[in-house]
């Protein structure tokens, strides 16, 4: 398939990152924001649920033992984090329109017999530009994590949120 394999020190099993996914790997101090590990993961899930809802997709957190975000029984967003000394690394992958065939060769997040889906597959209309969806993911993250002094470095005109 031409896929490369990289070993990392994060939670979860094998995952796939590729074109047409929105990837968010925050590096933050949980102590500084007053979060424990569970609240952090649950808020990452809520971030992706909110992103899906912006496009009319009803997503939900997984059942017990099924981290990530689901549309029915289909996984649309994965979470794999590492927390060391209260500092986070790694994060989330939200499927915008990736080649879903890659997921046929792995057990996504160690959960067998579950299908993987994408935002493109779940919506009835055209999606906006992927860059906008990436920005929406960041905006959802910023809001749900309570950040209120954020400056966008790549394109400050898009969202200069200083309040």
pLDDT tens, residue by residue, 3-53: 776 676 655 566 777 789 999 999 999 999 999 999 999 999 999 999 999
Q: What is the pLDDT of residues 35-47, one digit of tens each?
A: 999 999 999 999 9
52, 59, 69, 109: which one is catalytic?
A: 109
User: Is residue 156 in some structural domain?
Assistant: no
User: Is residue 57 in some structural domain?
Assistant: yes
3 state SS of 37: helix
Binding residues: 10-17, 78-80, 91-93
Binding residues for substrate: 10-17, 78-80, 91-93
The question of whether 140 is a catalytic residue gets the answer no
Domain hosting 126: range is 21-145
User: Is residue 137 in some structural domain?
Assistant: yes
- Strand 60-61 with 69-71, pairing: antiparallel
Q: What angle do CA 139, 122, 107 make, to 5 degrees?
A: 90
User: Is residue 3 in some structural domain?
Assistant: no
* CATH number for 56: 3.30.930.10
User: Is residue 69 in some structural domain?
Assistant: yes
Domain count, the chain: 1
């Amino acid at each position: 398939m031409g896929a490369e394999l990289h070993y990392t020190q994060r939670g979860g099993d094998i995952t796939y990152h590729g074109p047409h996914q929105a990837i968010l790997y925050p590096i933050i101090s949980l102590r500084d924001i007053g979060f424990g590990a569970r609240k952090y993961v649950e808020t990452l899930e809520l971030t992706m649920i909110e992103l899906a809802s912006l496009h009319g997709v009803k997503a939900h957190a997984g059942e017990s033992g099924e981290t990530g975000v689901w549309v029915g029984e289909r996984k649309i967003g994965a979470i794999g984090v590492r927390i060391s000394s209260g500092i986070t690394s790694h994060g989330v992958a939200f499927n915008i329109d990736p080649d879903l065939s890659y997921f046929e060769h792995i057990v996504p997040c160690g959960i067998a017999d579950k299908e993987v889906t994408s935002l493109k597959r779940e919506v009835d209309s055209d999606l906006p530009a992927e860059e906008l969806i990436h920005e929406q993911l960041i905006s959802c993250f910023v809001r749900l994590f309570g950040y209120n002094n954020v400056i966008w470095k790549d394109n400050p005109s898009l969202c200069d949120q200083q309040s």
